[in-house]
Chains A and B, each alone.
Chain A
Amino acid sequence: MADIIKLENICKRYFIDMPNEIEVLHNVSISIAEGELVSIVGESGSGKSTLMNIIGALDRPTEGTYGFGGVDVAGLSQNDLSQLRKMRIGFVFQTFNLVGRISARANVEMPMTYARMGRRERSERADMLLEMVGMGERSKHKPNELSGGQKQRTAIARAMANDPDIILADEPTGALDSETGALVMGIFKDLNKKHGKTVIIVTHSLALAEQTDRIITLKDGVVVGERKGSET
C-alpha cells in the first residue's frame, strides 16, 4: 500500500533563537501506509503530543518534510491546513471535547456543517455513524447525559463525519475504565479492518499499543524502536 503519511527528518524546536530554545523532536522519520493501524508510544515528555499535532496538521515542523497523501504539508496555507483537517483527518481526544450544549447528533454533524453539507444529508449521516458506533438510541442526548464510553463513541462518530483518510486518536482510552476502553479500542479496530481507515493511536499505554499492527516508540524526541504489536 502507498504511504499516506511520510515524515522525513522532522525537527521541532520551541523558543527559537532564545536562551531557552528547546528541541522537542530530533530527525523523526516515520512512514505510515494506507490502511495501517499504528500506535505511537512514549512516556510523557517524549514528544509524542508534538508529533501528533504535526501529523494532525495542527502544528508545523521547524525542519523536515511532511507528506500527506503525496502533498507537501509544509507548503499549505492556514486555510488549506483547515481543509486538510476537515476532510482527511478525524480527531479523537482523550477528553472527548464534545460541545456540551448540543446533542450527540449535533456534535457529529459539526464537521459536516463546516463541509457545507445540507441539513438533511448530514442529519442522516450522523444517525448512520452513531448507529455504527452503537449510539443510535442516544443521538438526542446531550454529552452530560452520556457515560464516558458513550461520549468517546460519539467523538469517534464525529471523527468519521467527513469520511477522512486517517483517524488520529490521542490517548482515546485514557479517561475510560478498562472494559469501556476495550470496547472503544474494538471500534478503532473495526474502522481499520472493516472500513479500511488508517488509524493512528498516540498513547503511553503499552497494553493498548500491543493491539495495533505496528508500534512506534518515541523517547526524548527520537524514534527508538519500531515493532509489530504482539496481539495482532
Chain B
Amino acid sequence: MRIADNFLEALSSLKNNKMRSLLTMLGIIIGITAVIAIMTIGTSMQGYLEEAMSGFGVNNVTVSLRAKSDEGPMFMGGGMFMFGGPRVEIKEKDMITGEMIDALVEQYPNEIKAVSISDSIGQGQTVRGEDYANLSLTGVSPGYVITENMTMLRGRFIGEDDIAAGRRLATVSDRLVENMFGDENPLGRELVIQTQGHIDIYTVVGVYEYDDGGWGAMMGFNTASDYDITTDVFVPLSVAQKVNNVRGYSSFTILTNMGVNSTEFGYKVEDFFGQYYNRNEDWGIGAFSMESIVEEMTSMLNTVAMAIAGIAAISLLVGGIGVMNIMLVSITERTREIGTRKAIGATNGEIRLQFIVEAIVICLVGGAIGIVLGSALGAVGAGLLNFPAQASVSSIILSVGVSTAIGLFFGFYPANKAARLDPIDALRYE
C-alpha cells in the first residue's frame, strides 16, 4: 500500500470516531499547547530583550549603595534601577566619594571607558498655569549621556563647566517639552521645579528623546496616562549635591570597554569597594550590569520553561499512553477487518505500517491543534507582558517531530500486535 493511501485510510478511521479521536488527542494537545505557548513567550521575550539590550548598552555597569538588609536589585521605571529604598537613611559617611571612583578608575584603566555619576534629588513636578509635568530630578555628570546611550534632540547636555559653576540648568525630555511648551522652542525657557521641600528655577539647555525602552511598561510601572508620565530632568551634579547637602554620591555608572564581561567586572567592582564598606553596618556596594539582568531574566525564564516542559512531558507521556490504549481498542474492534485485509493480500508489514501511520496521524493532528492553540496562547501571553509576539519556529518543528515520535513509539506495540494476528482467527473473530 502506498504511504499516501495509508494516510487517507488513517484519516477515514479518525473521521469515523471523531469524539474518541479528539479525546485521545487531548493529552497531546495539552502537552504541545503548553510547550508552544511557553516557547512563544520565551522567543518573544528574548527577541525583545536583545533589542532592548542594544538600546541600553550592555557595557554599562551600575554601581550604587545597597542597604545590607536588602537582598537584590529593584527595578525602577524608565530604565533606571536602584538598590534598596529609603528604609535606612544614607549618612554622609556612607556615600561613595570622588576619591573612591578615581581609585577604581586607576585600578582598572583597561576595563573602564567612561564613568558617569548621578545623584537623585527626588520626584517632583513643574507647573505653569494649567500645564504640568511629572518629573524625577537628577544631578548628573557629562558622562551620563554616553553611558545611558541618550539621544539629544535639541541643545546640549550638562557639561563640566555647568558643574564647576553650579549653574541651574536642565536637560529635559521631549515629553516634558510637549506638556509644558507644546510646539514652542523650549531652549532658554525657565521651569519652576518643585520637589519635596525644595523649589527652584532651572533654565532648559537641552532636550533628549524620551525612551522607556519598554522596560517600564514591561514591568507594569508606567500605568499612568501619557500626560502624567514621569520623565527625568537632568541638572548639574553639583546642584544636586548642594540641594541634597551632601558631597558624596549614592550611585554611578561605568561604561566598560568592548570585550569586557560586564557581569564579571561588576563582581570585581564590588570586591574593590569592599575595602571602604566592609565595616559599614548599614551600607555596601552593589554593582550590576544590564547583561547580568538579562542573564538573570533569561535563566529565570529557562527555569519556568523547564518546569513547564516537565509538565508537558508528563502530559505527552500520558497522551501517548492514551493513544496506545485507543489503538489497542481499535485493533480489537477491527480484528475482522484486519483478517479480511490479510486475506486479500496485505502483508504483516503493511498492516503494521497502517496502524503506526494511524497513531502518528492522531498525534500529528493533536500536535497541529496544540501548535495553533499554543501559538495563540503564547501571543496573548506575550501581549500581556508587552512583548511583540514572535512565533517560535524551532518549537513548532520540534512539536511536529515530537508528535510523530510519540505516534511511532506508542503506536508500534498495538500495530505490531495487529500485524501478528493470525488471519484465520481474525476472520473468525466475533
- A interface residues (Cβ-Cβ under 8 A, vs B): 53, 56, 58-59, 78-79, 82-83, 85-87, 91, 93, 97, 99, 101-102, 110-111, 113-116, 119, 158, 161-162
23 contacts between A and B (CB under 8 A): A53-B424, A59-B424, A78-B347, A79-B347, A82-B345, A82-B347, A82-B348, A83-B345, A85-B343, A85-B345, A91-B340, A93-B427, A97-B339, A97-B340, A97-B427, A101-B13, A102-B12, A110-B341, A110-B344, A111-B344, A114-B344, A114-B345, A158-B344
A114 touches B424 (CB 8 A): no
Cα distance, A63 to B345, chains bound together (Å):
24
Cα distance, A215 to B287, chains bound together (Å):
103
Min Cβ gap B6→A in Å is 9
In the complex, the chain B residue whose C-beta lies closest to that of A50 is: B424
Cα distance, A85 to B340, chains bound together (Å):
11
Cα distance, A162 to B16, chains bound together (Å):
27
Q: Which of B1-38 contact A (CB under 8 A)?
A: 1-2, 5, 12-13, 15-16
CB neighbours (8 Å) of B348 from chain A are 78-79, 82
Cα distance, A73 to B24, chains bound together (Å):
43
Cα distance, A97 to B337, chains bound together (Å):
7
In the complex, the chain B residue whose C-beta lies closest to that of A170 is: B427
In the complex, the chain B residue whose C-beta lies closest to that of A90 is: B344
Looking at chain B's contact residues, the main secondary structure is helix
CB neighbours (8 Å) of B167 from chain A are none
B345 touches A99 (CB 8 A): no
Question: Using an 8 Å CB-CB cutoff, how does the interface string of B157-183 with A read, 1 for contact, 0 for none?
Answer: 000000000000000000000000000
Q: Which of A83, A85, A162 has the most CB of B within 10 A?
A: A85
Min Cβ gap A13→B in Å is 15
A116 touches B345 (CB 8 A): no
B340 touches A114 (CB 8 A): no
With A56-B343, A85-B344, A86-B344: A113-B2 Cβ-Cβ less than 8 Å? yes
CB neighbours (8 Å) of B12 from chain A are 101-102
In the complex, the chain A residue whose C-beta lies closest to that of B15 is: A101
List of 3 A-B pairs having minimum Cβ-Cβ separation, nearest first: A86-B345, A101-B16, A97-B340
CB neighbours (8 Å) of A158 from chain B are 344
In the complex, the chain A residue whose C-beta lies closest to that of B346 is: A114
Cα distance, A82 to B339, chains bound together (Å):
12
With A93-B427, A101-B12, A101-B13: A115-B2 Cβ-Cβ less than 8 Å? no
